[in-house]
Structure 1
Amino acid sequence: MFGMFGKRLASVLAIALICGSTAFAIENIQVNGKSRSMIVYAPSGLEKGRPLIIQMHGMNQDAPYQQNAAKWESIADTARFVVVFPNGENKAWDIGGDKDINFLKAIIDEMEKRYGIDRKRVYVSGFSMGGMMSYHVANKMGDQIAAIAPVSGGGGVNSPKRAMPIMHTHGTTDDVVNYNSTVNTLKNWVSAQKCSSNSQKIKPYPSTKPGSAASLEIWSGCTDGVEVRLLTIDGKGHWYSMDEAVSVNTSVEIWNFVKNYSLDGSSITPPVIVPTNRDSIFNGGFDSSAVAWDLQLHGDAQATGTAKDGKYQLDITAVGTQNYQVQLIQHDLRLEKGQWYEISFDASAGAARTLEVNVEQHNDPWASYLTEKQNFELGTTAKTFTFKFQMTVATDTNSRLSFNAGAATGTLTLDNVVLKKTTEPDDPPAAIGLRAGVSMTRRYNVFDMNGVYLGRVEGVNLQDAHARARGLAKTSGAYLLKAIRN
């Protein structure tokens, strides 16, 4: 049984839970001198001022178990908010005192510090004993929580600080937390908040799904305009329902309810929707956020990135063995077979360095669509870089542009990233996307790092030229290449 008194069905190895292909680290936070733990999920490049959902596990369960059961990640990615799964001490919650109230307050403070969450849109939910804790929070922290959404766990009214929007979900055959008893307790909240005694009933729910086992009862007209809702799932036991085929996805229903509420009554700012299958860069100017951009780290590489002052600033503190181990990407790009494209961007660095740029598949095997990856020499002053290429293989609706910076530590700044269709260049050797089978030798002047001319080399590609140039730079080991236009 997955009940409040059930066995723990998920375990943590070391400090990470592996769910699918994503690792969720167990983090520690100090609360009143004690170390408490939690799992935090935040979408990549999250904007400031987004909501926070705290969801608590049942008794004898833990944060990894609840995270795996509720599957909030895709919802958070789409609607742009943070989800925290806290761990109760001894796999239980203090539903009568302040120990876990202080824990939740510390989580809210930490998420504001880390992600700039909107404190007016903090929502609390939980399963079984976590649901009971949600009601305790409503009584003790009503001035800090915009709405609650308990699942299979009830709690009484005890002098709440404000009227609380509630969405309660429960199965009729729950043999751990009785359905009928909990519904009677919920109706005490309906009475205390002076809701209309005439409820609206929707059965089946949603009404567009005739075979659904779910039904919804809504009490409106409550104090301060809040609603109390009861989502009943016929025949469901003590489980967190995620079966949309026969009923509902509980996490989706919770979000669709709580998102309507804030402590000041204001409406939520709609999330930025990034279009897919597009033939241009989205948010290439980093005007207010890094939305649509994804910073990926691989191996031992370490870096942080943020959109600041209309630019993307990358700070690399540990390099990998390959350039791609620090990678800023944008995918969902549509590249049409036979079409020529031009990419341009502004870039600078804290010190002179090379930046690798690639256009490739977004999925394994990540095949490049360039005849060779592009390398650009950055200085401390921002410059505009550009290149052209032709898509010579089948149309790809989910390709990506990758800035690969894992070869050197330090800071790097990007701005004004543009992808646009163009015509075939007059000087094909100057472009990168040459037609398959075309091989042209190019000439390069070689200089040392002081600008002293070392000689001239030729190569059918850049790698070939580098191999020859190293022979001219045996003493210093460092050199610059400058292409000679034919």
Structure 2
Amino acid sequence: MYRSLGRAPRAMVVLTVVIWSLVTACAGSGTDSTAAGPVRAATGRSVPPAAPDTAASAVPVGRSTRTIDSGGVRRTVHLYRPAGLTTAVPLVVMLHGGYGGGTQAETAYGWDAQADRGRFVAAFPDGTDASWNAGGGCCGPAARNGVDDVAFLERMVAALRRDLDVDPNRIYLSGLSNGGAMAYRMACETDLFAAVGVDATTMLVDCATATPTSVLHIHGTADQTIPYLGGPGRPYSAKSPPIDGPPVPSVNATWRGTDRCSPPTTTTTGTVTTATATCPAGRAVKLITIAGAGHGWPGATPNPLAERLLHTDRPSTALDATDVIWRFFAAHRK
């Protein structure tokens, strides 16, 4: 069942995003939402598990929300569908960072406008208590409670394919920080996606048996939360251990090996260095390094309060990550 959302004034949207982020961050110490039976909302009110999914009518134009039952727990996905789409549409799934949420990522990073330009449907699922179980102890309540986010995201994609004419060769996955690590986990453990585009993240799972996939990684050299050169970073909070991943160039090299790519070609313009490796079957593996950039989504609108709540740095202006990632997606399919 889908519920359409009306358009609010921009100031109200920003206020809602900030309040939502604060509420979800504070809710991080709540009950284990992976348990079978009632889910406890932030208000303390018990919410019964959702009934099994049933095919619904076409996803409405504009913003809408849908709940999906995964392992007996009701999960939420926010959607944006541009007007005028017909058949075989691309699908882009965006995974928010730690302490964020689906609507926060949708609003802050400009994905709706990009969907209008690129003619694709965008999905923004919510993690559990604003976190994803991305492997390696990352991150937050989702990792501590062993949430099966792989199964949830697989179920979400299957549900959207039932309700929309999605081109199975043009399903893409993006993510920031904790959400980016979850995107890598999906790429390592499933074969759903034609390409993955991540920012300010690392890979925390064994990826030895991954299906070849086009990969784009954007990262700042001054990122202290997930350091470019690897090792433990700045912890999100006292309850969350630091993310301790491999160096970003090593992650990129792993995917070049998986995709059997040629050695990369490197170019530098200003503070941006791009290493692009071409691979069989039209795939590519690309690493974009931004000198001096911190932990955040390049091109996002600066918002000091939201950055403090989401534990991110002032966004780099060197590029628009949403546009760069979509153009990479548009150039690659299965």
In structure 2, how many angstroms separate the alpha carbons of the residues matched to 1:218 and 1:116?
32
| Equivalent position of 2:93 in the other structure | 54
Aligned residues of 2:274 and 2:289 also touching (Cα < 8 A): yes
Aligned to 1:202: 267
Whole-angstrom distance in 1 between the partners of 2:167 and 2:87: 8
For residue 273 of structure 2, give the secondary structure of its aligned residue in structure 1.
strand
Q: Does 1:153 align with 2:211?
A: no
* Residue number in structure 2 paired with 1:418: none
Amino acid at match of 1:262: R
Aligned length: 238
Once residues 261 and 113 of structure 1 are traced to their aligned partners in structure 2, the CA distance between those partners, rounded to angstroms, is: 23
User: Matched residues in 2 for 1:153 and 1:83: separation?
Assistant: 21
Q: Does 1:260 align with 2:331?
A: yes
The answer to whether residue 283 in structure 2 is matched with residue 226 in structure 1 is: yes
* SS of equivalent to 1:108: helix
TM alignment of 1:256-335, pairs within 5 A: 256-263=327-334
Question: Is 1:215 the counterpart of 2:254 in the alignment?
Answer: no
Establish whether residue 92 from structure 1 lines up as the match of residue 163 from structure 2: no
Q: Please name the residue that 1:38 is paired with.
A: 77
Name the SS for the 1:35 alignment partner. Answer: strand
Normalising to structure 1: TM-score of the pair?
0.46
| Aligned partner of residue 169 in structure 2, secondary structure | coil
Which of 308, 318, 322 is 1:247 aligned to? 318
Whose strand fraction is larger, Structure 1's or Structure 2's? 1
Q: Which amino acid aligns with 1:214?
A: V
In the aligned structure 2, how far is the partner of 1:256 from the partner of 1:78? 11
Separation (CA, whole Å) in 2 of partners of 1:243 and 1:9: 15
Q: 2:254 aligns with which of 183, 188, 192?
A: 188
- 2:175 corresponds in structure 1 to 126
More helix, by proportion: 2
Q: Does 1:82 align with 2:121?
A: yes
CA distance in 1: counterparts of 2:173 and 2:87, whole angstroms: 20
Q: Which amino acid aligns with 1:153?
A: T
Which is higher, the Rg of structure 1 or of structure 2?
A: 1
Shift in Å at residue 134 of structure 1? 0.9
**Per-residue deviation at 1:24?**
4.4
RMSD, matched Cα: 2.5
User: Where in structure 2 are there 5+ consecutive unaligned residues?
Assistant: 1-16, 24-60, 136-145, 230-246, 302-315
- The 1:176/1:135 distance shift into structure 2, 3 A limit, reads same
Aligned mates of 1:24, 1:10 — CA distance in 2:
19
Q: Which residue of 2 aligns with 1:441?
A: none
Q: Which of 111, 118, 130 lines up with 2:160 in the alignment?
A: 111
Per-residue deviation at 1:113?
2.3
Cα deviation for residue 182 of structure 1 reads 2.0
Separation in structure 2 between the aligned mates of residue 240 and residue 27 of structure 1, nearest angstrom: 26
Query: What's the TM-score once normalised by structure 2's chain length?
Result: 0.66
- Distance, in Å, in 2 between the alignment partners of 1:10 and 1:169 is 28
Does the 8 Å contact 2:110/2:300 carry over to 1? no
| In 2: Cα distance, 1:256 partner to 1:52 partner | 14
Aligned residue type for 2:133: D
TM-aligned CA deviation for residue 243 of structure 1: 6.3
- Residue 49 of structure 1 deviates from its aligned partner by 0.4
Could you say what secondary structure the match of 1:111 adopts?
Answer: helix
| 1:36 shift after superposition | 0.1
SS of the residue aligned with 1:53? strand
Structure 1 residue ranges without an equivalent (≥5): 1-7, 14-21, 205-211, 264-486
Give the direction of change, closer, same or farther, for the CA distance of 1:80–1:255 in structure 2 (3 Å limit): same
Q: Provide the rounded CA distance (Å) in 2 between the counterparts of 1:166 and 1:128.
A: 15
Q: Distance in 1 between matches of 2:72 and 2:331?
A: 36
- Residue 136 of structure 1, CA deviation: 0.4
Contact 1:163 / 1:224 at 8 angstroms: preserved in 2? Answer: no
Amino acid at match of 1:11: W
Deviation at 1:35, TM superposition (A): 0.4
Q: Bigger relative contact order, structure 1 or 2, given CA contacts below 8 A and separation 6+?
A: 2
Q: Distance in 2 between matches of 1:227 and 1:157?
A: 21
Letter in 2 for 1:85: F
CA displacement 1:223-257 (0-9 Å, x = unmatched): 44421101111211001001699411101100111
Give 1:191's aligned amino acid.
G
Displacement, 1:98? 7.6
Residues in 1 aligned to 2:254 and 2:116: alpha-carbon distance in whole angstroms? 36
Residue 95 of structure 1 deviates from its aligned partner by 1.8
- Indicate the SS of the match to 1:121: strand
Secondary structure in 2 matching 1:65 = helix
Equivalent residue of 1:84, what SS?
Answer: strand
Q: Distance in 2 between matches of 1:10 and 1:160?
A: 41
Structure 1 CA distance, aligned partners of 2:131 and 2:99?
Answer: 7
| Alignment-derived partner of residue 11 in structure 1 | 20
With over 3 angstroms needed to count, the CA separation of the structure-2 counterparts of 1:186 and 1:106, relative to structure 1, is same
**Hey, what's the Cα distance between the residues in 1 that align with 2:323 and 2:299?**
9
1:404-456 alpha-carbon deviations (Å, 9 max, x no partner): xxxxxxxxxxxxxxxxxxxxxxxxxxxxxxxxxxxxxxxxxxxxxxxxxxxxx
Identity of aligned residues (%): 26
